[in-house]
Structure 1
Amino acid sequence: MKIENVTNIPEFFEVVDSCKGRVELLTGEGDRLNLKSKLCQYLSIAQIFSRCEDLHLEIVASEEEDLRKLYQYFVKNEEKIDM
């Protein structure tokens, strides 16, 4: 799922933390970040999301159920996504 913006980062991380499987952020530069890692969440992800309009980001979930949770979060918060 491609994303353009995450405006409520704490709520987004709550959803990520509730996921059972692996959730990763893929950047346009080819970086693959484990979003379930607190280190990634607190040290780098907030900066990436704050500049999201300039980046091509994609969220990948290993479990279909987790992908549905993330999709529901983006729809509920009216975030821009592309499946």
Structure 2
Amino acid sequence: MTLENISNIDGLFAVINQCTGNVELISDEGDCINLKSRLAQYMTVAGAFSDGYIRSLRLRVEKDEDKVRIFDFILSGEAEK
């Protein structure tokens, strides 16, 4: 799953923290970073933040119900606050 133009970083990580399965960031090199880790979240923000938003994140979400949770966040417009 690829997310683009996320400006509500805190909201995204709040949704990820509610997920029951693993949510991993997949780097361009193929590395997997556990986004449920607070340290990984800070590193992601530091590395991907540009102009007040994250341009693109490629995620691997383990459970279908967590995918729905993240999609609902994006579709609700919460990602843009």
**What is the alpha-carbon distance in structure 1 between the residues aligned to residue 12 and residue 2 of structure 2?**
15
- RMSD after superposition: 1.8
TM-score for the superposition, normalised by structure 1: 0.78
Cα deviation per residue 1:18-61 (whole Å; 9 max; x = unaligned)?
Answer: 0000001112221211000111012x1112342443xx631111
How many Å separate the matches in 1 of 2:65 and 2:3?
Answer: 18
* Residue aligning to 1:41: 41
Matched with 1:72 is: 72
2:49 is aligned to 50
Q: Which runs of 5+ in 2 are unaligned?
A: none
Percent of paired sites with the same residue: 34
Counterparts of 1:36 and 1:67, CA distance in 2: 14
The residue number in structure 2 matching 1:30 is 30
* Bigger fraction of residues in strand: 2
Provide structure 1 residue ranges, at least 5 long, that are not aligned to the other structure: none
Q: Which moved more, 1:24-33 or 1:60-69?
A: 24-33
Structure 2 CA distance, aligned partners of 1:49 and 1:4?
Answer: 11
User: C-alpha separation between the residues in 2 aligned to 1:25 and 1:7?
Assistant: 17
Q: Which runs of 4+ in 1 moved over 3 A?
A: none
